């Protein structure tokens, strides 16, 4: 394996306490990745091959986006499809031709669901044939609720994209800005993870200041702009939930993975940049100053959360990075729930967590994989944390019991990466505290008699 | 396979969950993959519930696919039994369980040996019924189960209450203005001196279901959910039921007359005509409103109506019979209820549309160009795009359809609310129209040159990338950001605004 620096998994095991519960927790179905990916990849169309259940979820979870003529649709399976009376190939061809005619995308993504898994619909087998017949690339990702949670949906899509061989259209995109005099010669670097375009530019510029050039992003703004990925290229992730994509890039495309903490929070961003610099033999310039400046700006927010406690119920895999940033900001983390923990891919992030706890002289929080929400609510009642980061299913009931909550999904949709956006993370985290402080005069904290 | 962007009615399990979680102390366990418990989010968000939704999943994952979910389901049921001590656990199948074809009934039988709670398997098939049909069926199933149970234990008391009494079958969560409707119905019953025997399922305990036969009659305000239960009680105990929706003054009067008829049949000499008359003329404002000059202006205006069958029918009747508005077409997505729909409004509109395809509805609206639309949230958005005013009268709904203030659609107060809704939709449309004619609308272009500082003599240039970036910023703050960035650049004595400058300006400002 070509992992750039093997993380010390062995030391970690001794110090971080990992536990695994029943997996009875609330999270979004991974098909929700369609919501941000169709916006990110501007010439794409996403076809979710599933049932009314999947459609109902998307329709309600995406809210108003639905009405904006989104570039996604359900291929709703009917009884005839389940009992194999209808030919999957013919049916999919009919729908894809319709999509091609009405929307003219550059690529169609097929999102496999639980149902296509159970009836073993051979999407991977059908796609290459149909692709030729209708003359349009088809990328298959199985983002179903049987195997994955929420943001892991993006991982399945990016892993599928990473598997596609370079096409003629692939290119190295350059971000043309001021002169490149300080840039150094290095092997191509490709970053992976879907983040909003402004954040892409921000991170690219941060690297540029260190003389490092980003050859391309997976995903790119357009499918037709996918970067060239060649053997020996360096790759680095910006999101903690992309372990399959990382593995695919390493194993299939023979790229070298830079295992770094994720650029969330000023500490994470700096560590991420430093790691990349280190790999390319660059002496990082001005990062200490840059980080200090950002912390200076966060002062007001930090004064609100310093010494306060937080509990992550766990549903989107951003938890470790967020917890690490919040600890650095002075919070005490009681529990980090997380749907799935790839200790290898998140190795550097775990190490930074460990280091941060040591520095702050607090015990490392327990990490609970596949949490059990019922047990967690029990623990929350006992511990009474100052803030619970949780899904919407639990937020209102907890608020009614006098417990501050922040809706976890907002972290997935907000811009949280890089130096510039650190403030937005704390803006989100402190919002319930600021709001509830203001409401103190209204009356009671508790709005229910039930336990 | 069907290409679908939007659906009017949800999948079957949502219907079952709505019924189960409406009852007090009933727990639903979904046999479903991780992620299908989105129902909890909806209930907690839309209805702003303070309590944890009593729905959990027995998660179907790879492991279950390989080995079957028997132990898991049984364990999950008995775990919930101990943790929450519910009266009833409803095992809820989903689209996934429909194709796994496991013998869920068998799991239920096994689990119920160990549990204190009763355990039921919801009798719904994902591929055969939708949300509403499933809810209707589940309610009937639960009622039947407790009636039979009481019978078996010889606890069933069918003697009628001394005073006239009624069961209201039709209060549930995630329904359109339901809480307010039920409050209004209660008020109506108390005006008529009729005691409420039971209101099901919202807030009811399953223990009280055995008392249902004690009521003199049943009322089913919405025909989508509750009719099966009312029919069952009629077959079993000869209980009469009223399925006239008291929406609008005419139908409310009809409903009251039916109540009067039932009471008369039971040798009770009541006459509600006076009550109806006073309510119509003095308490409700809507009848007088229809007479007033304002409403005259609405005569013959073109409207279209779409929604579930209950609301679309009632609305069509109100528009045509109570306001003199021309309904060009009325339609419903409750396809299974087609013949009833035709019978009710066949004479009241030019055309009837039965479909659950929102694209077709959109096209039909565009074709007719009505002055106003009464429909669901989907029609509201179509209306927005076409610049036609729209009143929302039926599910599917958004959070704004769960108002905090009192907004019934039923009864005499409901008639007032509806009159306001109709009138406001029209005047808004009219005002808008007049503004257009007289060119009174604000310009939508925010990024006017005059807004940026010293724009004329400013030397500051935006390079291509920063221009592209600027365009992406939502219109309502774009101007501000442009000004701030230029100011920043000026202070820093820069001449060109690049992406870097933009972000630096953002950081400096934050
Ligand atoms: S969990 Fe499975 S069935 Fe449910 S919405 Fe997701 S893919 Fe569809």
Q: Chains A, B: CB contacts under 8 A, how many?
A: 184
Nearest residue (by CA) to ligand 1, atom 1, is A145
Phi, psi of B32 (to 5 degrees): -155, 155
Nearest residue, CB atoms, B14 vs list A56, A74, A198: A56
Residue to probe by mutation, ligand 1, list A34, A49, A51, A53, most atoms within 8 Å of CB = A53
pLDDT digits (tens, 9 = 90+) for B179-230: 999 999 999 999 999 999 999 999 999 999 999 999 999 999 999 999 999 9
Contacts of B54 (CB under 8 A, 6+ apart): B20, B21, B25, B26, B27, B28, B84, B86
From A24, A27, A205, residue closest to B500, measured CB to CB: A205
Place of tokens 């519960």: A21
- The C-alpha atoms of residue B221 and residue B246 are separated, in whole angstroms, by 7
CA nearest neighbour of B380 among B403, B364, B356, B396: B396
Rounded to the nearest angstrom, the distance between the alpha carbon of B57 and the centre of ligand 1 is 13
Helix (H) or strand (E) run with residue B373 in it: strand B372-375
pLDDT at B445: 40
**Could you tell me how many residues make up chain A?**
451
Work out the pLDDT band at A251, boundaries 50, 70, 90: very high
Which of A32-36, A325-329, B334-338 is predicted most confidently? Answer: A325-329
Whether residue A116 contacts residue A140, with contact meaning beta carbons closer than 8 Å, is answered with: no
Whether B423 has a pLDDT exceeding 90, the answer reads no
Ligand 1 site residues (CB inside 6 A) read A 29, 31, 50, 53-54, 57, 113-114, 144-145; B 33, 35-36, 95-96
Confidence of residue A3 (pLDDT cuts 50, 70, 90): very low
Scanning A26-45 for CB atoms below 8 A from B yields 26-31
Cα-trace Rg, chain A? 23
Average pLDDT, chain A: 90
B40 in contact with chain A, both atoms CB, cutoff 8 A: yes
| Backbone dihedral angles phi then psi of residue A219, each to the nearest 5 degrees | -85, 160
Chosen for mutation from B33, B78, B100, B333 (greatest number of chain A CBs closer than 10 Å) is B33
DSSP letter assigned to residue A306: T
What is the distance between the alpha carbons of residues A268 and A291, in angstroms, rounded to a whole number?
10
Closest CA to A390 of A402, A378, A381, A399: A399
- Distance CA(A394)–CA(B40), nearest Å, equals 8
The residue behind tokens 């997505």 is B333
Does the pLDDT value for residue B452 go beyond 60?
no
Question: Which three-class secondary structure string do you get for B448-493?
Answer: CHHHCCCCCCCCCEECHHHHHHHHHCCHHHHHHHHHHHHHHHHHCC
Could you say which residues from 63 to 82 on chain B have a Cβ atom under 8 Å away from some Cβ of chain A?
65
In three-state secondary structure terms, A440 is: helix
Comparison of pLDDT for B366 and A325, the residue scoring more: A325
Give the relative orientation of helices A319-328 and A265-279 as an angle to the nearest 10 degrees: 110
User: Smallest CA–CA separation between A72 and chain B, in Å?
Assistant: 8
Q: Which residues pair with B27 in a beta bridge?
A: B89
Binding region of A for [4Fe-4S] cluster: 29, 54, 114
From chain A, the residues in CB contact with B95 under 8 A are 51-53, 114-115
The reported pLDDT for the residue numbered B358 is 87
pLDDT tens for each residue of B403-421: 899 999 999 999 999 999 9
Bridge-based pairing state of the strands B302-307 and B241-242: unpaired
Mutate to test the interface with B, among A114, A399, A420, A447 (most CBs of B within 10 A): A114
| E strand map for B46-194 | 55-59, 88-93, 118-121, 165-171
Q: Is the pLDDT score of B120 beyond 70?
A: yes
pLDDT at residue A55 in the model: 93
- The pLDDT assigned to A114 comes to 96
Q: How many CA atoms does the CB half-sphere of A339 hold within 13 Å?
A: 26
**CB contact at 8 A, B127 and B96:** no
Rama region for B168: left / alpha / beta (φ>0; ψ in -120 to 50; rest): beta
B246 contacts: CB under 8 Å, gap ≥ 6: B185, B188, B221, B252, B254, B255, B256, B410, B411, B414
pLDDT at B71: 87
Angle at A218 between CA A213 and CA A224, to 5 degrees: 100
CA of A22 to the centre of ligand 1 (A): 19
Number of helices (H) and strands (E) in chain A: give both, helices first: 18, 14
| Predicted confidence (pLDDT) per residue in A200-246, tens digit | 999 999 999 999 999 999 999 999 999 999 999 999 999 999 999 99
Task: Write out pLDDT tens, residues B344-367.
Answer: 999 999 999 999 998 899 889 988
Give residue-wise pLDDT tens across range B229-242. 999 999 999 999 99
Least reliable range by pLDDT among A275-289, B22-36, B277-291: B277-291
Question: What mean pLDDT comes out for the span B386-405?
Answer: 88
Is B430 known as a binding-site position? yes
B 481-510 residues inside an 8 A Cβ radius of A:
498-500, 503, 506-507, 510
Question: H-type helices in B4-46, by residue range?
Answer: 12-22, 38-46
Region A292-313: mean pLDDT is: 96
Share of chain A above pLDDT 70, in %: 91
Closest CA to B333 of B310, B306, B372: B306
**A206 CB-contact burial (10 Å; exposed 0-12 / middle 13-18 / buried 19+):** buried
Are A42 and A376 a contacting pair, CB within 8 Å?
A: no
Question: At A74, is the pLDDT very low, low, confident or very high (cuts 50, 70, 90)?
Answer: very high
B36 marked as part of a ligand binding site: yes
Residue A385 to residue A388: CA distance in whole angstroms: 7
Q: Strand pairing partners for B390?
A: B373
Mean pLDDT of B39-67: 91
Helix extents (H) in A77-113 = 79-82, 88-103
Ligand 1 atom with minimal separation from the A56 CA: 5
DSSP A195-239: --HHHHHHHHHHHHHTT--EEEEES-SSGGGPPP--TT-EEEESS
Task: Find all residues with CB under 8 Å of B196, minimum gap 6, and list them.
Answer: B165, B166, B167, B168, B186, B189
Comparing B132 with B398, which gets the higher pLDDT? B132
Instruction: Express each pLDDT in A334-359 by its tens digit.
Output: 999 999 999 999 999 999 999 999 99
Which of B40, B42, B398 shows the shortest C-beta gap to A26? B40
Q: How confident is the model at residue B444 (pLDDT cuts 50, 70, 90)?
A: very low
Closest ligand 1 atom to residue B33 Cα is 1
CA distance A444 to chain B (A): 14
The alpha carbon of residue B111 and the mean position of all alpha carbons in its chain are separated, in whole angstroms, by 34
Phi/psi at B5 (nearest 5 deg)? -105, -25
Q: What is the mean pLDDT of chain B?
A: 90
How many angstroms separate the alpha carbon of residue A37 from the centre of ligand 1?
Answer: 18
Confidence of residue B244 (pLDDT cuts 50, 70, 90): very high
User: To test the ligand 1 pocket, which listed residue (A27, A31, A60) has its Cβ within 8 A of the most ligand atoms?
Assistant: A31
Q: Is A397–B44 a contact, with Cβ atoms under 8 angstroms apart?
A: yes
- Cis ω before A219 (30° cut-off from 0): yes
Q: What does the alpha-carbon distance between residue A385 and residue A333 come to, in Å, rounded to a whole number?
A: 9
CA distance A447 to chain B (A): 7
SS3 B132: helix
Q: Tell how far the Cα of A119 is from the centroid of ligand 1, in angstroms.
A: 14
CB neighbour list of residue A192: distance below 8 Å, 6 or more residues apart? A158, A162, A217, A218, A235, A236, A237, A238, A242, A245, A246, A249
Mutation for testing the B interface, residue in A79, A118, A408 having most B CBs under 10 Å = A118
Chain-centroid distance, C-alpha B294: 31
CB-CB contact of A221 with A197 (8 Å): yes
Report residue A198 as tokens.
């402004």
Provide, for chain A, the percentages of residues in helix, strand and coil under a 3-state DSSP scheme, each rounded to the nearest 5. 45, 15, 40
Q: Considering only residues 331 to 360 of chain A, which have any Cβ-Cβ distance to chain B shorter than 8 Å?
A: none
Neighbour-count burial of A10, counting CB atoms closer than 10 A to its CB (0-12 exposed, 13-18 middle, 19+ buried): exposed
Q: Per residue in B57-113, pLDDT tens?
A: 999 999 888 888 888 999 999 999 999 999 999 999 999 998 998 999 999 999 999
Residue B256 reports pLDDT greater than 70: yes
The Cβ-side half-sphere exposure at B315, using a 13 Å CA radius, reads 30
Percent share of chain B, pLDDT over 90:
66
DSSP single-letter state for residue A32: G
Residues of B labelled catalytic: 294
pLDDT tens digits, A108-138: 999 999 999 999 999 999 999 999 999 999 9
pLDDT at B448: 37
The number of the ligand 1 atom at minimal distance from the alpha carbon of A144 is: 7
DSSP H or E stretch at residue B3: strand B2-4
| Partner-chain residue, chosen from A28, A118, A396, that has the shortest CB–CB distance to B35 | A28
pLDDT tens sequence across A347-398? 999 999 999 999 999 999 999 999 999 999 999 999 999 999 998 899 999 9
Query: Which residues, 6 or more positions from B400, have their beta carbon under 8 angstroms from its beta carbon?
Result: none
> ipTM of this model?
0.91
């Amino acid at each position: 394996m070509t992992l750039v620096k093997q993380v010390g998994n062995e030391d970690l095991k001794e110090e971080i306490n990992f536990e695994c519960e029943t997996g009875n927790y609330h999270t979004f179905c991974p098909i929700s990745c369609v919501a941000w990916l169709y916006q990110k990849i501007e010439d794409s169309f996403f076809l979710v091959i599933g049932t009314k259940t999947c459609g109902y979820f998307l329709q309600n979870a995406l809210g108003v986006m639905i009405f904006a003529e989104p570039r996604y649709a359900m291929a709703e399976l009917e009884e005839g499809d389940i009992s194999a009376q209808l030919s999957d190939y013919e049916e999919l061809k009919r729908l894809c031709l319709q999509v091609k005619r009405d929307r003219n995308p550059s690529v169609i993504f097929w999102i496999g669901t639980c149902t296509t898994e159970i009836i073993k619909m051979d999407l991977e087998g059908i796609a290459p044939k149909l692709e030729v017949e209708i003359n349009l690339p088809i990328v298959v990702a199985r983002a179903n609720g049987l195997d994955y949670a929420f943001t892991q949906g993006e991982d399945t899509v990016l892993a599928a994209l990473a598997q596609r061989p370079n096409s003629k259209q692939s290119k190295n995109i350059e971000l043309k800005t001021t002169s490149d005099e300080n840039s150094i010669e290095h092997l191509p670097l490709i970053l992976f993870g879907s983040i909003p375009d402004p954040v892409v530019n921000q991170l690219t510029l941060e690297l540029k200041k260190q003389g490092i050039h980003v050859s391309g992003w997976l995903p790119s703004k357009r499918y037709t702009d996918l970067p060239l990925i060649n053997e020996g290229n360096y790759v680095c992730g910006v999101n903690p939930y992309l372990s399959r994509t990382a593995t695919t890039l390493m194993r299939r495309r023979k790229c070298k993975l830079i295992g770094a903490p994720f650029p969330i929070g000023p500490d994470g961003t700096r560590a991420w940049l430093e790691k990349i610099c280190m790999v390319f033999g660059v002496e990082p310039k001005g990062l200490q100053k840059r980080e200090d400046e950002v912390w200076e700006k966060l002062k007001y927010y930090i004064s609100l959360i310093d010494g306060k406690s937080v509990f992550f119920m766990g549903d989107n895999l951003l938890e470790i990075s967020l917890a690490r940033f919040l600890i650095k900001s002075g919070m005490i983390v009681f529990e980090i729930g997380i749907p799935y923990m790839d200790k290898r891919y998140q190795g550097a992030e775990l190490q930074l967590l460990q280091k941060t706890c040591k520095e702050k002289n607090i015990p490392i929080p327990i990490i609970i994989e596949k949490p059990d929400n019922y047990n967690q609510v029990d623990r929350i009642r006992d511990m009474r944390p100052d803030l619970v980061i949780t899904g919407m299913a639990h937020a209102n009931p907890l608020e009614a019991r006098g417990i501050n909550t922040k809706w976890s999904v907002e972290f997935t949709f907000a811009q949280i990466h890089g130096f510039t956006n650190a403030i937005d993370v704390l803006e989100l985290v402190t919002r319930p505290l600021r709001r509830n402080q203001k409401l103190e005069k209204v009356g009671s904290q508790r709005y229910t008699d039930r336990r | 396979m069907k290409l679908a962007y939007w659906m009017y009615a949800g999948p079957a399990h949502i219907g079952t969950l709505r019924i189960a979680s409406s009852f007090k102390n009933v727990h639903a366990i979904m046999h479903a993959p991780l992620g299908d418990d989105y129902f909890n989010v909806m209930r907690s968000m839309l209805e702003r519930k303070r309590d944890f939704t009593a729905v959990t999943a027995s998660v179907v994952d790879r492991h279950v696919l390989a080995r079957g979910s028997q132990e898991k389901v049984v364990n999950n049921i008995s775990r919930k039994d101990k943790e929450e001590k519910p009266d009833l656990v409803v095992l809820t199948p989903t689209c996934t369980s429909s194709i796994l074809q496991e013998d869920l009934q068998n799991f239920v039988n096994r689990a119920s040996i160990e549990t204190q709670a009763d355990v039921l398997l919801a009798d719904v098939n994902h591929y055969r019924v939708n949300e509403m049909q499933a809810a209707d069926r589940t309610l009937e199933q639960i009622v039947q189960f407790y009636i039979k149970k009481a019978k078996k234990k010889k606890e069933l008391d069918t003697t009628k209450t001394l005073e006239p009494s009624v069961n209201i079958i039709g209060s549930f969560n995630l329904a359109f203005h339901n809480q307010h409707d039920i409050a209004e119905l209660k008020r109506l019953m108390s005006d008529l001196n009729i005691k409420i025997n039971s209101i099901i399922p919202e807030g009811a305990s399953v223990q009280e279901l055995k008392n249902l036969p004690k009521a003199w009659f049943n009322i089913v305000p919405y025909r989508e959910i509750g009719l099966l239960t009312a029919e069952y009680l009629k077959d079993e105990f000869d209980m009469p039921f009223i399925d006239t929706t008291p929406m609008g003054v005419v139908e409310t009067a009809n409903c009251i007359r039916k109540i009067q008829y039932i009471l008369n049949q039971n040798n009770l000499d009541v006459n509600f005509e006076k009550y109806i008359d006073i309510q119509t003329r003095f308490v409700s404002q809507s009848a007088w409103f229809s007479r007033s000059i304002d409403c005259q202006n609405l005569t013959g205006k073109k409207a279209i109506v779409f929604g579930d069958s209950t609301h679309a029918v009632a609305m069509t009747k109100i528009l045509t019979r109570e306001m003199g508005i021309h309904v060009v077409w009325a339609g419903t997505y409750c396809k299974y209820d087609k013949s009833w729909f035709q019978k009710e409004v066949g004479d009241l509109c030019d055309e009837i549309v039965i479909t659950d395809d929102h694209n077709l509805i959109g096209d039909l609206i565009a074709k007719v160009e009505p002055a106003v639309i009464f429909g669901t949230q989907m029609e509201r958005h179509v209306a927005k795009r076409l610049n036609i005013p729209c009143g929302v009268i039926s599910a599917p709904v958004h959070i704004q359809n769960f108002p905090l203030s009192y907004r019934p659609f039923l009864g005499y107060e409901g008639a007032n609310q509806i009159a306001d809704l109709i009138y406001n939709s029209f005047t808004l449309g009219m005002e808008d129209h007049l503004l257009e004619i007289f060119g009174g609308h604000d310009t939508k272009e925010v990024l006017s040159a005059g807004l940026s500082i010293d724009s004329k003599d400013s030397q500051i240039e935006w390079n291509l990338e920063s221009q592209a970036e600027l365009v992406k910023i939502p219109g309502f703050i774009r101007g501000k950001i442009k000004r701030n960035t230029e100011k920043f650049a000026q202070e820093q004595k820069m001449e060109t605004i690049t992406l870097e400058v933009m972000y630096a300006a953002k950081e400096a400002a934050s």
